[in-house]
A and B are shown apart, each in its own frame.
Chain A
């Protein structure tokens, strides 16, 4: 509650500064719209904003789910077998070495203007932090837990040790990966939309910009911001449930 109040305080202060700057400089709305003009544009176009926000949210959720699932599977495969680890680790690094901005237009060429390339781009971006964090977590089981488990399990119980010891011990790392992935979900969706789309907040931003409707562009940006924060907060909340035994220190 305290955190929410202080965040609200920061937000109010930022809007106040924005209003002061736009009043003091007297810049026209097509360069720097005031908060009031932005709000007016947002209210006037609320249906368009809402429907495009829904598109972007869908891309974020589906892209996050796909990327997180692939990341988890990749990390599990790497933990399961050393040859797979040697094979997948360079591929994992390579997947991030190519800038997603460069890949996005190709994805559109291959998959069309619909939902598919946006999900693919978001999944590609989100896959990496989830896979890396979870794989590291799976490799860093506390040695004391592992040794105790090996004595209890006896020989040939590698899979059960992985399932009952290494996997739960890696959940805090997975939660971190999911939080990092959630943070970039909105950016990934917008990159996908910029590469080619007919709806979504990224598309709406380009559309408004090309028509010099800068107040609408600002309103879109704010909706995107709120969407990204809300999505991150939701994933943060859910990922905490993965690790109920962890106490947080301030």
Chain B
């Protein structure tokens, strides 16, 4: 066993089209080491396509989209198996790799997301419960790079706040790329904020929030954060 690979995402000269129109053309982007990078942009700018390309689900039309360290993905749609219970959903990755699911570890991860005894099937769970199970599955995969595609968009504000705190704690030590359309979510979770804008999309803003991100919502009146929030909104506005 060598030293663990430092997680890294690197896009070089990246280009991809969707429905004939180029979404990206010659985009360069790099993120390395542990930390949460939030990726913002107006609807249709290509955030999800970019994430899918990084996950290896869509081949780039030009340039490269490479990762080091292994990738896990949490989509906006929870992508939970409707026929499987919580533990089977969390540990499905093992089955898909032809390995024996570690049910004890899956149960422990469910406990760590606050659902120690979750019974039944996804159809009977609330939106917040499903997110927690999807988060537990992401952690079961235990990859250095975690890609999150607007995972908390469909939640009510109260649930989202709780899940944010949980996600921030559980994702520590990983390189997480969080696609979101919500500047406040980005300020709450991210160590780095990247705004995509234009067509084909380029990086319109690339900033590091002035303080430890997880306190952002509590410190919403902090002048530095408010200025950054305003600049994100401005960058988003110019992009649409």
Write the residues of chain A forming the contact surface with B, with a CB cutoff of 8 angstroms. 142, 144-145, 147-154, 157, 160-161, 164-165, 168-169, 171, 243-245, 247
Given the complex of chains A and B, what is the CA–CA distance between A145 and B122 in angstroms?
13
Known: A144-B79, A147-B52, A160-B98. A152 touches B57 (CB 8 A): no
With beta carbons under 8 angstroms apart, the residue of A148, A168, A171, A245 that contacts B79 is: A148
B52: which A residues are within 8 A, CB to CB?
147
Question: Interface with A: B2-10, B68-76, B176-184, B215-223, which one?
Answer: B68-76
Residues B121 and A160 in contact, CB atoms below 8 Å apart: no
A152, chain B: closest CB distance, angstroms: 4
- Beta-carbon nearest neighbor of A168 in chain B: B83
Given the complex of chains A and B, what is the CA–CA distance between A171 and B72 in angstroms?
27
B105 CB-CB contact with A under 8 Å? no
Residues B123 and A145 in contact, CB atoms below 8 Å apart: no
With beta carbons under 8 angstroms apart, the residue of B73, B95, B123 that contacts A160 is: B95
Known: A144-B75, A148-B75, A151-B73. A245 touches B82 (CB 8 A): yes
Report the tally of A-B residue pairs with Cβ distances under 8 A. Answer: 62
Residues B123 and A152 in contact, CB atoms below 8 Å apart: no
- Beta-carbon nearest neighbor of B57 in chain A: A147
Task: Tell which of A152, A168, A244, A245 has the most Cβ of chain B within 10 Å.
Answer: A152
B141 CB-CB contact with A under 8 Å? yes
Interface string of B89-105 (1 = CB under 8 A from A): 00011011110000000
Given the complex of chains A and B, what is the CA–CA distance between A149 and B57 in angstroms?
11
B37, chain A: closest CB distance, angstroms: 18
Known: A147-B57, A147-B73. A153 touches B97 (CB 8 A): yes
B81 CB-CB contact with A under 8 Å? yes
B82, chain A: closest CB distance, angstroms: 5
Residues B92 and A149 in contact, CB atoms below 8 Å apart: yes
- Beta-carbon nearest neighbor of B82 in chain A: A245
A153, chain B: closest CB distance, angstroms: 4
A38, chain B: closest CB distance, angstroms: 47
Given the complex of chains A and B, what is the CA–CA distance between A209 and B136 in angstroms?
69
B121: which A residues are within 8 A, CB to CB?
245
B93: which A residues are within 8 A, CB to CB?
152-153
Residues B96 and A147 in contact, CB atoms below 8 Å apart: no
Question: Which 4 A/B pairs are nearest by Cβ-Cβ distance?
Answer: A148-B79, A153-B96, A152-B93, A144-B77
Residues A164 and B79 in contact, CB atoms below 8 Å apart: no
Interface string of B121-140 (1 = CB under 8 A from A): 11100000000000000000
A151: which B residues are within 8 A, CB to CB?
55-57, 71-73
B126, chain A: closest CB distance, angstroms: 15
Residues B75 and A152 in contact, CB atoms below 8 Å apart: no
Residues B123 and A247 in contact, CB atoms below 8 Å apart: yes
Given the complex of chains A and B, what is the CA–CA distance between A150 and B96 in angstroms?
9
Interface string of B51-64 (1 = CB under 8 A from A): 01001110000000
A146, chain B: closest CB distance, angstroms: 9
With beta carbons under 8 angstroms apart, the residue of A157, A165, A243, A247 that contacts B81 is: A165
Residues A147 and B79 in contact, CB atoms below 8 Å apart: yes
A210, chain B: closest CB distance, angstroms: 53
Given the complex of chains A and B, what is the CA–CA distance between A150 and B95 in angstroms?
12
